[in-house]
Structure 1
Amino acid sequence: MKNKTLIFLHISKTAGTTLKQIIYRHIQGENIYRIPSGDSEIKKLIEKLDDSKQKIQLIHGHIPFGIHEYLPNQSEYITIIRNPIARIISRYYFTVNHKNHPQSKLFNDLGFENFIQEDNIITSNFQTRLLLGQSIDLTNYKNFSSLTKNAIGEVKQNLENFFSVVGTPEKFNEVVLLLGEKYRWQKLWYTNKRITRGKINIKNIPPYIIRILEEKNTLDMELFEYATKRIEREINNRGAKFQIELTNFKKENKYKGLIYSILESIYKKIGAFLNPKAKPFFKKLFSSIKPAWKYEREII
């Protein structure tokens, strides 16, 4: 990624927080920026960086496609796309269960079925909108524009031209290995982060609610199908060797992912007390597991 900026277009509830722990293990330093969720004035924010734009290694956030247009150097995107029905269910219950979320009480009072039936941007081809480049204001989530019939074609064109890796949660391990191959990353182990607890099983959702979600997300359904076929094509092109690597990685990750998670927790507790002149052993040990918050800077 030398002289290039990696842009992680993080669509909420698509395993993005889990993926971020791997990214931060390989891209470190002060030139990592997180764009606050829901901020629609990306150009204005980027302009604040001035000369440092040349040095940006990583930009990530719940941001729409198009931020590369404001960067002077070359850039590549990566993203994960999820089945829209599963994503919307997870998004609702994640918000309700996190009482400090600004929309938690609103969604809880509204109720799941009313939330699904009302017109809002979260339940209406949300992923297509982000990847199309639509500005999204989640503080006013009922205010959104309609999509043209050409929207999905434009999104697929964006994905083909600007995204080096596009994956799905179902193929998360495969996505991780492809990223390792593409960017020569080696420490790929992980543990699942920010899993939505207490959500309703999709099998227990009334059929009419499923139909509503399908009708409201026809473009996102097509988008998910595209992502599924793309990742499967990438896997098939790599043949039997990739399958062997995948099997070995899954075995290794069962214990190495846990080890890294424990080390990260330790660092959170004692990192503030580490002496900068600590022995090289400790520097080397913690350099690869510092959590994301240790590095990132918000563009505000």
Structure 2
Amino acid sequence: MNKLPISNLPKLYHQALPEITLSLPLFFIHPPKSGGSTVRTFFDLNLGSNQFSDFLWNRPRWNNCKQKFSISKFGGGHFSFGYHRALKMAVNYTTILRDPLARQISHFHYARSGKNGEVSQGVPISLMEAGAMRGDISIDEWVSESYDDLNLFTKMVSGHPNPDTTSLQVAKNNLRAHFLAVGTCEDMSSYLLRLCATGGLQMPFFVEANRAHPKSPVSPVSDAAKRKFLETNRLDVELYTEASTLIAQDEQSYGPAFADALEQVKQIQRQINSMPNPHVHDSFAFGFNDEHLSKVRTFIKDCNLDAIQHFLTQAREAKYHGRADLYEGHVDGILDGVVRGWALNFTHPAEAVHLKVVCGDRVVATGRTGEPRADVQAAGYDTPTSGFSISLPKNMVSPEEDLHVLIEGTSNRFPSSGPWRLGWHLA
């Protein structure tokens, strides 16, 4: 396993904190207008500038960005759960959510301001955001019609592009199984303190960034628009409630040391918030001011950090529970009663993947990987024997029944897992 290079991080504590060994990089899922730019300042405070890998699909030299991510072990972007498939590696995930209605209103003001003026500097904008910027879309329309996205959190945490009630359950399972920490914009300090405990970082502090710049006043959102938004985004409302419950359980599990540390974090954070801040309306698109972040680090160094240090020491000495394994695969087809495809375990590439074929609530066949697949290995995956062939018992499945190929012992599915019918793919 690769050790997180804590020795290279800024030394701010009087005594060295116990090192935490992480075998996987940490990927930050950044939902728009949920405090993610502020979280980015947390990473820059801890890692230094240009160490966090900001992933963009259209970014030149994407492979260089991936290589940096493999070395620094910290990165992220506006991407959904499942980005490990594009990276072709196992990762730990983390994310921050926000009250869905508050996020939608904030997004309107952000779009209306031309993304704090950064649209004029080349930052991309959607058609709906452009409409709000021109004044063609009112705040009531923006909220009631759920403009720019619907059930955004469920979409990003589940990895399902068109979320439904099944996606909500997947998103809930993912939060428990694959996220080192989840936070809310409403309590940034709790999130960053817990992320320091599990992610091996030292400073649970931030510099507020990318707050929507006020333009001219607008009318308040009508109650009717709010009601419609909450109804059509009920998946996100339920997921936000679930995340809040998980956070409360996480905080309680750490015991009284967490509460003492959190109070100290918030006291120091209030003083940081009172400092002149050049980034309050800036995104990370053009980087952060190293001189300002250096001043914040120097200020933190002079603070009493005893309660924080005590908590992090206690948390890191406790047994660390890793996240569930991550998988990838593909069903090539069902022909002559045999299901063929490939699958692999990103977290433990050398291990065989155990599979089952289900029809409704019946398991009709099982199998495992172990066949050579040179094409899969040539595509950049580390497992040479990822292939599988699973024979279906005769007369147990009719041509009208749906089949799914699932991974044993996990809710993970790969995109082509089903539904299938004998001889052809239904989806």
Does the CA contact (< 8 Å) of 1:89 and 1:199 recur in 2? no
Give yes or no for the alignment of 1:130 onto 2:156: yes
TM-score normalised to structure 2 length: 0.53
Q: Give SS of 2:154's match.
A: helix
Give the distance between the partners of 2:48 and 2:290, measured in 1 at CA.
Answer: 19
Q: Could you tell me which amino acid in structure 2 is paired with residue 133 of structure 1?
A: G
Give the distance between the partners of 1:111 and 1:258, measured in 2 at CA.
Answer: 34
In proportion to residue count, which structure has more strand?
Answer: 2
Give yes or no for the alignment of 1:267 onto 2:291: yes
What's the CA shift for 1:266?
6.9
Q: What's the Cα RMSD here?
A: 3.7
Aligned to 1:58: 74
Q: Could you tell me which amino acid in structure 1 is paired with residue 265 of structure 2?
A: F
Structure with the larger RCO, 1 or 2 (CA within 8 Å, 6+ apart): 1
1:207-231 deviation digits (Å, cap 9, x = unpaired): 1111110111010000100111011
Aligned residues: 260
Moved over 6 A (4+): 48-53, 199-203
- Structure 2 counterparts to residues 55-204 of structure 1, below 5 A: 55=71, 57-98=73-114, 99-101=117-119, 102-103=125-126, 104-107=129-132, 108-118=135-145, 120-122=147-149, 124-134=150-160, 146-198=162-214, 204=220
Name the larger-Rg structure.
2
Query: Which blocks of at least 5 consecutive residues in structure 1 are unaligned?
Result: 136-145, 272-281, 289-300
TM-score normalised to structure 1 length: 0.73
Give yes or no for the alignment of 1:244 onto 2:263: no
Give the distance between the partners of 1:268 and 1:247, measured in 2 at CA.
Answer: 24
Q: Give SS of 1:110's match.
A: coil
What's the CA shift for 1:164?
0.4
Aligned to 2:382: none
What's the CA shift for 1:119?
6.4
Give the distance between the partners of 1:50 and 1:185, measured in 2 at CA.
Answer: 21
Relative distance call for 1:213 and 1:199 in structure 2 (3 A) is farther
Relative distance call for 1:72 and 1:208 in structure 2 (3 A) is closer
The answer to which of 105-114 and 155-164 deviates more is: 105-114
Q: Could you tell me which amino acid in structure 2 is paired with residue 130 of structure 1?
A: M
Q: Could you tell me which amino acid in structure 1 is paired with residue 221 of structure 2?
A: I
Does the CA contact (< 8 Å) of 1:191 and 1:261 recur in 2? yes
Query: Which blocks of at least 5 consecutive residues in structure 2 are unaligned?
Result: 5-21, 120-124, 280-287, 302-427
Aligned to 1:212: 228
What's the CA shift for 1:200?
11
Q: Give SS of 1:113's match.
A: helix
Does the CA contact (< 8 Å) of 1:13 and 1:91 recur in 2? yes
Relative distance call for 1:198 and 1:268 in structure 2 (3 A) is closer
Aligned to 1:23: 43
Q: Give SS of 2:210's match.
A: coil
Q: Could you tell me which amino acid in structure 2 is paired with residue 127 of structure 1?
A: F
Relative distance call for 1:28 and 1:6 in structure 2 (3 A) is farther
